[in-house]
Each structure stands twice: as C-alpha cells, then as structure tokens.
Amino acid sequence: MYPSISSTDIYFGDSSCRGSLSRNVLQYTFGFQDCLTNEKISNDTIIYENKLVYATLDTLNPHIIRNHVWTYTIECDVIRREATSYHIHHDVNTHHSSVVVHNNINLGFYSDPSFTREIPGNPLHASVGGTIYVKVYTTVNDWSIKMRLHSCYTKPWQNSNSTSDYMLINDGCEVDGNTHIMSQSTHETTFMFQDFEYTGNPEGLDVYCNATFCQASDFTPTCLQACNLQH
C-alpha cells in the first residue's frame, strides 16, 4: 500500500465490499455474484467484470463520493471447460447526469464559468469531482413575469425515494458547500456545483430544479430572488 492511501478508501464494485489488509497485501474475498459484479456469456466463455475503486468520501456525508483517485477495471474470463484467464486494464471512469425539465424551466450544463462550452447530450457525461456550471432559465417572453429558483437537488436514480435526495439549493439558499449561485436575473439563474457520485450507484445521478413564477413587482419572501432562510 502507498503511504498516502488508506485501505478503507478502496472498494470492489460496491462501497460495502471492502478488503482485508494483511501486511502490504489488500485481499478481497467475494463470490462472482457479489459486489455488483456483471456477468455475460460470449461463446464458451463466462466473463465477469467489476471495478476496483479508490475514492475519497465527503467527510460530513459518507454516502457521497467526492472524487475518484483511480479506477481499475477487473475482468475474469472463465472458460466453460474449466481453464481460466485473468487480466487487469486501467480505465478512466466516466460519470453522467440526467436532465429533468418541468414545465417551462430549462437546464443547460457547461464546462466553463463563461457558459460558452455547453456539455452536450442527455444523459451528459462529466467526471466525478469536476465543476459543472448550470444555467436555469425560462423562455417565457413576458418580462412582467419573473422566475425565482427555489430548489435544486439530486437523486441517485429517477425512482429513488426522497431519503436519498441531496440538496444543492433550497429556498434560494446554497445548501451544499460545493454549490454556489453565480447570478440571478428575471428569467435566468446560474450556479456551479462539484459533481459527485452516490455510493453503490456508479452510473450517475439525476438533477432536479424547481422554480416559482411571480409578477416582477412582487417582492414577498416567496418571490424574492434571494436566500430566504425564514420562509
């Protein structure tokens, strides 16, 4: 083990699958059906695939992965005639976010703070630990109507229950320490956040945003384009 690496930060497939350290050897003892191992059959070969991941976790939210230090893809080929082969190849892990749009609210994702390089696709691809710049806007042409960004949050997948929701912005306030509102105007709000991964779900996350539409002259707490801690 390298001196700067903790064995508890390395897992096999699923974050619950940790190894046991014996001197300088980290051993994993699991079955072919464990730890999110993928199985596929090709001709006379059964192919098992998984990943060995070294990741840093959020100190306050241990179910949140903040960064992938490295990822190795593990493949074990089992020939049905009992001969086996084994190889490891280094893999650059990718991560994606899915866009969910409600009513007349649009989400744009960018890789730069000037919002000139839009990240294409849905799902879009980004790296865990990277900064994503988000533009939330409406195409309503009536300038007497303003949009107030109320909340933005993530889910590990679309049908997950609310206990796994992770708030980025709530009631106009920055909730996550790596999320920052950059600008707000009548029909647009921009913010940035650090992409992360839910443990046990390396496939990505869904991003949801909710907004309130008000008369431009309405400055009540519900419609004020600012953090509203007391509302």
Whether residues 57 and 129 share a domain: the answer is: no
Whether residues 38 and 145 share a domain: the answer is: no
What pLDDT is recorded for position 168?
A: 94
CA distance 173 to 176: 9
What pLDDT is recorded for position 230?
A: 60
Least trusted range by pLDDT, from 1-5, 116-120, 195-199: 1-5
Which tens digit of pLDDT belongs to each residue from 132-156?
999 999 887 778 888 888 889 988 8
What pLDDT is recorded for position 87?
A: 22
Whether residues 77 and 131 share a domain: the answer is: no
Going 15 to 20 to 26 to 28, the CA torsion angle's sign is: negative
Choosing from 48, 63, 90, the residue where a domain stops is 90
Whether residues 44 and 57 share a domain: the answer is: yes
Greatest mean pLDDT among 43-52, 85-94, 158-167, 172-181 lies in 172-181
pTM of the complete model: 0.66
Domain presence at residue 1 = no
In the predicted model, is pLDDT for residue 177 greater than 80?
yes
Strands (E), the chain: 10-12, 20-22, 25-27, 38-42, 45-57, 64-79, 84-90, 95-99, 105-110, 124-126, 131-138, 145-155, 166-170, 173-174, 179-184, 188-194, 197-198, 205-215
pLDDT, mean of residues 196-202? 81
- Tokens representing residue 102 in the block: 């409600």
- Tokens representing residue 32 in the block: 């072919």
Q: How many domains does the chain have?
A: 2
What pLDDT is recorded for position 112?
A: 94
Least trusted range by pLDDT, from 43-52, 154-163, 189-198, 199-208: 43-52
β-bridge mates for residue 67, sequence order = 56
In the predicted model, is pLDDT for residue 174 greater than 80?
yes
Domain presence at residue 2 = no
Q: Residue 114: give the domain boundaries.
A: 95-215
At 29 the three-state DSSP class reads coil
Whether residues 211 and 106 share a domain: the answer is: yes
In the predicted model, is pLDDT for residue 1 greater than 70?
no
Whether residues 211 and 112 share a domain: the answer is: yes
Which tens digit of pLDDT belongs to each residue from 50-103?
888 888 878 788 778 888 778 888 887 754 433 222 222 223 344 333 333 334
Whether residues 110 and 81 share a domain: the answer is: no
Q: Are 172 and 136 in contact (CB under 8 A)?
A: no
More confident residue, 129 or 179: 179
Whether residues 55 and 161 share a domain: the answer is: no
Q: What is the CATH number of the domain that holds 160?
A: 2.60.40.4100
Whether residues 51 and 160 share a domain: the answer is: no
C-alpha distances (whole Å) from 86 to each of 25, 32, 48, 73, 91 are 18, 14, 10, 12, 16
pLDDT, mean of residues 121-134? 84
Whether residues 64 and 143 share a domain: the answer is: no
- Tokens representing residue 124 in the block: 């879009």
